[in-house]
């Protein structure tokens, strides 16, 4: 099978990203994965045609400082990937967002399907102290703003709970949620 080019996948050890890596490799792409290394994406030796940005903090316990542990890394990490992509003239960035970026919206009209105009409301995220929803909302909003200014071709995917066979040995956040649901703890 011939090589189709190279793709960078941030957060390559996460559930969704590990499946993206596996699929890309099976289709003949060279994959450069980053795993919790803030400088990994800025390596100028890596030349990619596209980027899948899946890295985002999702702590298993309540953060002591949600701004420092969740919001800043989600927003700055996303912007850093977009800036590096723009500088490297990478054609397309796929942002693995989450339904968390759209689900806390108490003023959305009942029965109206949610689409790209629906966002979780910042005030509501703060009120219910859902820092993950806040981090994903702020990160995606900043990504769209940056893409609009620079012309970076951006695509976002907002999946809900992610379940299925795991490639990692550790349990991901969605699976943990499902296990707790089955135990009756939620």
Q: Is 160 left (phi over 0), alpha (psi -120 to 50) or beta?
A: beta
pTM of the predicted model as reported, rounded to 2 decimal places: 0.86
Q: Is residue 61 part of a domain?
A: yes
pLDDT in tens, 141-181: 999 999 999 999 999 999 987 888 888 887 777 777 778 88
Residue 79 located in a structural domain: yes
Host domain of residue 127: 6-183
Q: Note whether residue 43 is domain-resident.
A: yes
Under the banding of pLDDT at 50, 70 and 90, the label for residue 45 is very low
Query: How far is 132 from 57, CA to CA, in rounded Å?
Result: 8
Whether 80 maps to a domain, the answer reads yes
Tens-digit pLDDT profile for residues 46-104: 678 999 999 988 887 888 999 999 999 999 999 999 999 999 999 899 999 999 999 99
Residue 166 vs residues 9, 106, 162: alpha-carbon distances, Å:
17, 34, 10
Q: Which of 150, 14, 12, 26 is nearest to 88 (CA)?
A: 150
Torsion from C-alpha of 100, 134, 174, 21, nearest 10 degrees: 80
The answer as to whether 36 is a domain residue is yes
Tell me, yes or no, if 22 is annotated catalytic. Answer: no
Alpha-carbon span 120 to 91, nearest angstrom: 28
Q: How confident is the model at residue 31 (pLDDT cuts 50, 70, 90)?
A: very high
What CATH number should be reported for the domain holding residue 134? 3.40.50.720
Q: Catalytic residue, from 64, 136, 169, 183: name it.
A: 136
Domain annotation covers residue 99: yes
Q: Quick one: 138 exposed, middle or buried, by C-beta within 10 A (0-12, 13-18, 19+)? A: buried
In a domain, 1, yes or no: no
Could you give the number of structural domains in the chain? Answer: 1
Q: Which two tokens stand for residue 168?
A: 């990692």
pLDDT at residue 1, as a whole number: 46
Please check whether residue 89 lies inside any domain of the structure.
Answer: yes
pLDDT single digits (tens) 92-106: 999 999 999 999 999
pLDDT at 40 over 80: no
Q: Are 10 and 41 in contact (CB under 8 A)?
A: yes
């Amino acid at each position: 099978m011939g090589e189709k080019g190279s793709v960078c996948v941030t957060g390559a050890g996460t559930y969704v990203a590990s499946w993206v890596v596996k699929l890309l490799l099976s289709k003949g792409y060279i994959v450069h994965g980053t795993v919790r290394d803030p400088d990994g994406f800025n390596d100028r030796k890596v030349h990619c045609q596209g980027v899948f940005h899946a890295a985002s903090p999702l702590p298993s316990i309540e953060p002591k400082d949600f701004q420092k542990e969740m919001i800043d890394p989600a927003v700055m990490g996303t912007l850093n990937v977009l800036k590096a992509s723009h500088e490297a003239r990478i054609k397309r960035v796929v942002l693995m967002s989450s339904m968390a970026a759209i689900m806390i919206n108490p003023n959305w009209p009942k029965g109206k399907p949610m689409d790209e105009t629906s966002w979780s409301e910042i005030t509501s995220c703060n009120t219910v102290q859902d820092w993950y929803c806040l981090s994903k909302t702020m990160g995606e909003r900043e990504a769209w703003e940056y893409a609009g200014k620079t012309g970076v071709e951006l695509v976002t995917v907002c999946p809900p709970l992610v379940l299925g066979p795991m490639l990692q040995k550790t349990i991901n956040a969605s699976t943990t949620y499902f296990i707790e649901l089955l135990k009756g703890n939620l």
